[in-house]
Structure 1
Amino acid sequence: MTLFSLIFALLIEQLRPLPVQQVVAGPLGRFSSLLVERFNDGRAANGRMVWLLVVIPATLAVGLVFYLLWQVHPLFALLFNVGVLYLTMGFRQESHFFTDIHLALRMGELDRARILLGEWRGGQYHEASSSEVARLAIEQALLSAHRNVFGVVFWFIVLPGPCGAVFYRLSRYFAEDWGRRRDAEFGEFGRFARTAFEWVDFVPVRLTAASFSVVGDFEDALFCWRTQAVLWPDRPSGILLASGAGAMGVRLGMPVHESGEIVDRPELGIGEEADADYMQSTVGLVWRALLLCLLLLALVGVAGWVGA
């Protein structure tokens, strides 16, 4: 059922992309703001309490619904799985930015590509070169693929029913919404959410990086992972980007023009400068990695069936 749920959810999402802002991000944002308004007193203890009282019960509730539907009929449980995955996972949640930037670079419309990149990442890139735009778009795509697909898939497989998908999605959302805030008014309320997601994502991020290595240039990916990831400010992101860059034979990281200044960043990967061609290679790398995961899941399922 796990494999079929993933395949059906991916097919539906490809045919009819989910309007994430309206259906997921908007309601979650309003709920998050309400929690902050009512419970944030600037202390980490309150942030921990609220996280535990929201994420854990929500995960258990989804598991209970799945169990009850399974008792009625497995088909209902399968449909519930697909529905939850459709809401929590998807290649196309942010891929329209990547596709439009890729097309703009192909057409020589650098200014348009810069604007689209700014809308996607939230900065300004008026002075960025075409290589910098391609580089930043590839980095964002690799991170997005992990957070929107591979991380969800890992926890969906680990926990029963769709519990894992909800657990990962909520953990990631609160880490991004609360954990990244450093202003004095917000205080330490988001510290636990940030730390919790680091643990939740510890294994998935390394498995995603490993899958990039297997379906790409294995030796270069491992070399970059081992020697370059530690230099990146955010270690988990560094692991993903270094392995992805090595797998494709492209250079990521490096200084870029962002919001009117030059941001100094370490170099990731070995090989050639990023361009529109490597953006196409990124799509292929992600799809091959996903197919590898589905194949392994299918083999495990067949082995279990034969063993029974």
Structure 2
Amino acid sequence: MLLISLIVGLCLDRALGEPRRYHPLVGLGNYIAAIEKRLHDNDSSLQRLRGVIAVCLVLLPGLLVAYGLDHGLSDIAWLHAVTGGIIVYIAIGWRSLLEHAHRIAEPLRSSELAQARYHLSMIVSRDTAELTPVQMAAATTESVLENGNDAIFAAIFWFIVGGIPGVVLYRIANTLDAMWGYKNVRYRRFGWAAARLDDVLNWIPARLTAFSYACVSAPLGNFVQALRCWREQGRSWKSPNAGPVMAAGAGALNVMLGGAMHYHGELQFRPALGAGVSPDTASIEAACLLINRTVILWLAVIAILEWIT
């Protein structure tokens, strides 16, 4: 039934995309913002403790509901499977990720740079106003590779491991990190617990994703090169989980990513990732294809494991 739930969730995502209205994650974001408003206080000496309490207050209601669904429906196999599929659909962003990438690639291909910059600014935190076409292609490729793990494969992993409660735990933790996991004055201490929880939950999925990128790279790049880039470059990245994913993905695609980039007006010198040519719109399309091939690989492995067990 696990495979059925995943197929239901992935098919719903491909057919419907993100809900245009009443998206549960929008409600979650509003709830997180309300918790932050009550507990955040930069003048407090207990900011880390406040952050831990805030994370617990966000996680516990969602986990209680998820646990109730998981166990309340366990005796009705088909309903449990369909409900699990719907939860997976809410938790992943496969179609959305590819659509965002295409919205940037298409105007970039036709040299409509202002439009490409606008759409890129919707998915990255770096400054996009002065980016060259190569830099925009690099930023988009990096985002596709990194979010392949965050928006798809880590959610699938935690559904496999923990069922409905597992995927709900991951999606809430990842959303908390997206909202609070910044190393700036406001969130360095308050968002510490959210960032660390996300790091822990992503540690195994990120490395499975990196290895999967290498495995499906044969028509696109180089398996050995992907593993080498992961081994030699992954640890140098500021994020312990994004580094391996992006390095392996860049190696698989045979492109060079990373390098200096402006974030909120500040120039950050990021290590190089990957090997090969400079990215372009073809690199964006190849990254999307890499994601699709990895989805197929994961479904095939899950089907085999269910069959032999």
Give TM-score scaled by structure 1 length: 0.90
Q: CA deviation at 1:206?
A: 0.8
Q: Secondary structure at the match of 2:18?
A: coil
The residue type equivalent to 1:209 in the other structure is A
Q: CA deviation at 1:121?
A: 1.5
CA distance change for structure 1 residues 258 and 115 in 2, over 3 Å: closer, same or farther? Answer: farther
Q: Which runs of 5+ in 1 are unaligned?
A: none
Q: Which runs of 5+ in 2 are unaligned?
A: none
Larger mean CA deviation between 9-18 and 186-195 belongs to 186-195
Match of 2:232 among 208, 224, 227: 227
CA distance change for structure 1 residues 261 and 112 in 2, over 3 Å: closer, same or farther? Answer: farther
Q: Paired residue for 1:55?
A: 59
Q: CA deviation at 1:79?
A: 1.7
**Counterpart-to-counterpart distance in 2, 1:4 and 1:67:** 18
CA contact (8 A) 2:6 2:85 kept: yes
CA distance change for structure 1 residues 117 and 301 in 2, over 3 Å: closer, same or farther? Answer: same
CA distance change for structure 1 residues 37 and 7 in 2, over 3 Å: closer, same or farther? Answer: same
* CA deviation string 1:99-145 (max 9, x = no partner): 11111122222232122212321443232221111110000111121
The residue type equivalent to 1:96 in the other structure is E
CA contact (8 A) 2:182 2:188 kept: no
**Counterpart-to-counterpart distance in 1, 2:140 and 2:13:** 22
The residue type equivalent to 2:272 in the other structure is E
CA contact (8 A) 1:179 1:191 kept: yes
Q: Paired residue for 2:128?
A: 125
Q: Paired residue for 1:40?
A: 40
CA contact (8 A) 1:115 1:124 kept: no
**Counterpart-to-counterpart distance in 2, 1:260 and 1:35:** 29
Correspondences of 1:85-124 after superposition (within 5 Å):
85-124=88-127
Are 2:172 and 1:170 aligned? yes
CA contact (8 A) 2:199 2:240 kept: no
CA contact (8 A) 2:177 2:195 kept: yes
Measured on the aligned residues, the alpha-carbon RMSD in Å equals 2.1
Are 2:195 and 1:194 aligned? yes
The residue type equivalent to 1:3 in the other structure is L
Q: Secondary structure at the match of 2:256?
A: strand
**Counterpart-to-counterpart distance in 2, 1:38 and 1:257:** 32
**Counterpart-to-counterpart distance in 2, 1:252 and 1:8:** 34
Match of 1:286 among 267, 281, 291: 291
CA contact (8 A) 1:39 1:46 kept: yes
Q: Secondary structure at the match of 1:70?
A: coil
CA contact (8 A) 1:114 1:125 kept: yes
Q: CA deviation at 1:59?
A: 2.1
Q: Paired residue for 2:30?
A: 30
Correspondences of 1:193-272 after superposition (within 5 Å):
193-216=194-217, 217-256=222-261, 263-272=268-277
Correspondences of 1:126-165 after superposition (within 5 Å):
126-159=129-162, 161-165=163-167
Q: CA deviation at 1:96?
A: 2.4
User: Quick one: percent identity of the two aligned structures?
Assistant: 29
The residue type equivalent to 1:148 in the other structure is A
Q: CA deviation at 1:235?
A: 2.5
Q: Secondary structure at the match of 2:152?
A: helix
Q: Secondary structure at the match of 1:290?
A: helix
Q: CA deviation at 1:181?
A: 5.7
Give TM-score scaled by structure 2 length: 0.90
Q: Secondary structure at the match of 2:123?
A: helix
The residue type equivalent to 2:83 in the other structure is F
The residue type equivalent to 1:241 in the other structure is M
**Counterpart-to-counterpart distance in 1, 2:2 and 2:28:** 26
Larger mean CA deviation between 248-257 and 282-291 belongs to 248-257
Larger mean CA deviation between 45-54 and 232-241 belongs to 45-54
- The structure where helix makes up a greater share of residues is 1
CA contact (8 A) 2:125 2:263 kept: no
**Counterpart-to-counterpart distance in 1, 2:130 and 2:177:** 31
CA contact (8 A) 1:145 1:286 kept: yes
Q: How many residues align?
A: 301
* CA deviation string 1:186-213 (max 9, x = no partner): 6722211111111111111111111111
Q: Paired residue for 2:18?
A: 18
Q: Secondary structure at the match of 1:280?
A: helix
Q: CA deviation at 1:58?
A: 2.4
